[in-house]
Copies of this chain bind each other. A is one copy, B any other.
Amino acid sequence: MIERLAIVGVGLIGGSLALALRRAGIVREVVGCGRGVANLELARARGIIDSYTTDPAAAVAGADMVVIGATLAASAAVFAAIAPALEAGAVITDVGSTKASVVAAGRAALGAGFSAFVPGHPIAGTEHSGAGAAFAELYDHHKVILTPLPETDRQALARVRAMWDATGATVVEMSVEMHDAVLAATSHLPHLLAYALVDLLAGRADADDVFAYAAGGFRDFTRIASSSPRMWTEIVLANKAALLDVSRAYAERLTALIAALERDDGATLEAVFTRAKSARDACSVPEANVRR
């Protein structure tokens, strides 16, 4: 049982976590914290949180579990603000889309208390954001990645695991480096590609027609280009090294495909398409949960 849960940043991710834990009946009290009072009011009205404050230090006072749901850019400031106010024995975790940058911020701010920080990342989301978009089923049948470090307290890790288990998610552990490489390939690069495509087409003289006659495949392909520009700028910058690696490899691959098209090399094109279809058909990525 979590006696007092502090959520710093009550958006889609943090808000849905609170709703899932309430559904599971394993949290007694939830305190929300953020900079936007309107969003916090909405979270309270929706029953996501019991009370709120705009002061991170006040939010974590008395909390046995602290979830940092703030943006990546705000993480360092949040760690610094809560560090002096954390209770002895409190466990801290986060939901950031990149892990190396958050780990560095946590290590710098928490000092000896860093062992109580369990870096985490739920692999779930929609293109919507804010407390209004939160729903209890977001994590059902989805994965949550935890990236504990050698110095991470095993007890703290077990408590964060138990919390996510209660949301309906499956918890897996991997290294910080592997997390950042996998997410660069499967999430950050696709976002970059989709944003680049929509921006390119939007700038055409025939943009209206282009979008008017687009088919369902285009809609699916570009859905992620509706995600928050600010949040995604922070994510790609925070995971710069891993994302540059995979982006450069992708650009080379694309250039090779364009060259194959240029020389009418159907054999190469069909070989690439065939390998891709086999891999895509073999992978069982879950559908995104949507609000019912």
Contact = CB atoms under 8 A, between A and B. Distances in A.
Interface of A: 123-125, 142-143, 145, 172, 174, 178, 181-183, 185-187, 189-204, 206-207, 209-230, 232-234, 236-237, 240, 243-244, 246-251, 253-255, 257-258, 261-262, 264, 266, 269-270, 272-283, 285-289
Contacts of A125: 215-217
11 contacts: A123-B213, A142-B215, A174-B213, A186-B210, A190-B218, A193-B221, A193-B254, A196-B257, A228-B277, A244-B261, A247-B258
Nearest to A200: B253
Contact of A226 (B197, B198, B203, B281): B281
A219 B285 contact: yes
B285 A211 contact: yes
A269 B124 CA distance: 23
A254 B257 CA distance: 15
Contacts of A243: 261
Contacts of A266: 233-234, 237
A206 B178 contact: yes
Contacts of A203: 275
A280 B182 contact: no
